[in-house]
Amino acid sequence: MLDHRFDAALVYASRLHAQQTRKGTTIPYLSHVLSTAALVLEAGGTEDEAIAALLHDAVEDQGGAATREVIRHLFGEGIAAIVDGCSDTDVVPKPPWRDRKERYISHLLTAPRSVLLVSLADKLHNARAILSDLRRHGDVLWARFNGGEEGTLWYYRALVGAYRAHGPDWMVDELDRIVTEIERLAALPLPNASEK
């Protein structure tokens, strides 16, 4: 069962991300951390893993080292370690995109199970959103991403490989199916939203 610690993390995540929206949309960013936490719980994750899922982007996007210290103080070293394991940087400005992503993929090959679970839930929700938006908006979607179409496709296929290296998992299977569909659609001539 979830207790007051989860409630406190939900309130803290809501405050941290209150002014954020998902890339290129008006969707509140909180929807992403809620979906990530839901996937973690559906996969049998612990309360600590679900709390880390709520906070997985806090260090990277909302304050760096100072936010990490707040998380450590409020929720403990274990949750802070999971959040750290899901962050590709805490530096502002962020280092070059491709370097960060290559380091993150390499890190996943030896990451602890809790980090893998939260990271996988995060990327699965992101991939679902990419697929949905690609179907709705066409190729203009790729302008939202620092890696563009080519880099984003490379990154998500590499993520599948890194997660798959740890063995079978239903979320990895689903991520693989979604990435395959994104790749299929990206290879087709899709109309831009303005052409619909």
48 carries an active-site annotation: no
**Predicted TM-score of the model (pTM):** 0.93
Two tokens, residue 73: 């103080």
Distances (CA, A) of 196 to 107, 156, 187, 191, 193: 41, 27, 19, 7, 5
Cβ of 95: how many Cβ atoms within 10 Å? Answer: 11
Which residue is catalytic, options 61, 84, 88, 149?
Answer: 61
Domains and CATH numbers, the chain: 4-195 (1.10.3210.10)
At residue 83, the 3 state secondary structure works out as: helix
Give, for all 196 residues of the chain, the pLDDT tens digit.
Answer: 899 999 999 999 999 998 888 888 889 999 999 999 999 999 999 999 999 999 999 988 888 889 999 999 999 999 999 999 999 888 888 899 999 999 999 999 999 999 999 999 999 999 999 999 999 999 999 999 999 999 999 999 999 999 999 999 999 999 999 999 999 999 987 555 444 4
Assess whether 61 carries a catalytic annotation: yes
Phi, psi of 16 (to 5 degrees): -60, -40
Which one of 48, 49, 57, 60 is the catalytic residue? 60
